[in-house]
Structures are given as C-alpha cells and as structure tokens.
Amino acid sequence: MNVERLRELLEKLNEIKVLVVGDVILDRYLHGKVERISPEAPVPVVDVEREEVRLGGAGNVAKNLVSLGVKTYLTGVVGEDRAGEQVEELLKESGVVSLLAKDSRPTTEKTRVVSRSQQLLRIDREDRSKVGGEALKRIREALTETECDGIIVSDYAKGTITYKVTDLVREKEVFWAVDPRPVNKELYKGASLITPNEKELREMTDILSGDPVETLGLRLKKELEVDTLVVTRGPKGMTLFTEKVENFPARAKEVYDVTGAGDTVVAVLTAFHLAGATWEEACELANLCAGIVVGEFGTASVTPEELIEELDNEGC
C-alpha cells in the first residue's frame, strides 16, 4: 500500500459510525521506584511517584476507533463509583459518545504497579456475573436505537457479552466483529469477523492438537460460520482466512508492551474494512498499527498522522 491510498481510506473513516459493546475496563497505573525490600516479607517496597488512568477493554477499542477519526459509540457497564466516573471522564476527553449503563457492581479495574517501566504486580477488581436488570436494558436500548455502520463486540468475559446481547447484534444486520474469549465461543456464530490470537484459537478448537494455525483457523471459521477470521500471532504477524489463507509478517520494530494490541487490531480491521479497504489492505494496516502500539507502554492508540508517517518511513 502507498501513502496516497492510505490517505484516501483515512478520509472515508470520517464518514463511518461504529458502536462498540463489551466489557469496559479502567486501567490504573501506579508508577514508582524500588530501592529497598520490605522488612515484613521478601517483597520490594514501591514508593509511588505518580498515578495515571487509561481506558481499557472495550473502552480502548473505542478510543482506537475515535483516534482514527471514526464516529464512535460505546455501551457497556460501569459501577456507581469513582472508577466509573473516571471512565466517563476519559471517554469525554477522547471524543467517544458514552452510552454506558450504571450498575451496583464495581467498575472493572486493573491496577498495575510499575517501576522503571517494568510491571511488578497487577491487582484486579471485578464482578464477572452476567449483566442483567436495568443495566442490560440500557445496553439493549443502545444496540436497538443507535444507527451505525458496524458493531464491535469486545469480550473480556466480565459478564457483558451474553446471548441476549449477541442476538440483538445480529438483529441489527450490519457488519459485526468480535474480539473473542474462548469461554464464550458459541456466542459468536455468524459474525462477520472474529480476531482471536493464536492461543485463543487453539483453545476454541483443540488445545491438544499439534495442527498448524492454518488448519485450526479453517476449522473454527467453518464451525462458527464466520465470514472472515484473522488470527494474531505475535512476532509471527497475523493470518487472514477468507476464501483463501494468507500470512502477514509482523511490523513491530521493538516490542515494549503488548497490552491492548488486540483492541487495536479489531478496531483497525473493522474501521478500514468499512472504509472500503480490501482485507489484505486492512491486515497490512492492522499489522502496522499493532507494531506502533506494542512499542509504547500500556494501552495506546494510533493517529492518522502516525500511521502515514510509519507507512512513509517504510517506503511502502
């Protein structure tokens, strides 16, 4: 792909509307220094110097979309707590239209303790029970009433994505993509696109099988009756399954942190497909964007300017 073609596709992104539904997560980072071991136990003592919060899960998918210029809506659940307020604040700052439901359950939150850019510990706060009641009603309203060109189901197995939700997604009769979790495999039947990583692919087919990715991908594509399957494979790049199977090499120059890379891939693939890119072009751009975000710490997103510069630098 050349820069002229990329600019053409980027212009079309401004005309697209995408609704993201899924598990919204607040990523909290505690940055500090370690200079001593605790006298109470053989663990490091972290002197916290600063704290930051970022959108994670479905929120990060939405942020990736809006960063590219896509009109983006997000529905899911947050708690009636400070973490939920912070999610809403971050969505407003990023330009994502919030259609979130409030619930008595706590906002899903991942707190990472970091020293010198190395993660020492992660603390999770969550309720993985299925979303119901008024919160589910709000999600149903968002799915029913929001006009969009496509939907992304961002499933982190925290309780938002259920049969009731994916049934409504199918009823919209628009393109819908899924960033899946193996435990919910049956929910994704008939999806337009699913984007498992290689580990998830093996869990959804036969984890004990020594079959190659190409064989397992074809098996899963047929079983779930999906139109397109893209398997992300880390340093091996990604494999595209349409009427044929194609491999795309990784584009990362340096892998710093893979957090949120899957969010970026499903967002980029969906956005550019809806903009008229071929699947080959969409995979090339998703690989490029993933290569950018894994070179940064924590969840990240890519701007059109960064993408143009990266493509230009590669001389494609």
263 in active site: yes
Tokens standing for 124?
Answer: 């999770």
The active-site residue out of 81, 127, 263, 312 is: 263
Other beta carbons within 10 Å of 242? 14
> Alpha-carbon distance 119 to 35, whole Å?
15
Instruction: Please list the alpha-helical segments (H only) found in the chain.
Output: 3-13, 58-67, 82-94, 133-145, 163-171, 198-204, 213-224, 261-274, 279-293, 304-314
* End-to-end CA gap in the chain: 6
Angle 300-306-311 (CA atoms, 0-180°, nearest 5)? 120
Strand locations in 23-155, DSSP E?
Answer: 24-37, 44-57, 71-75, 77-79, 97-98, 101-103, 108-115, 118-125, 150-154
Residues annotated as part of the active site: 263
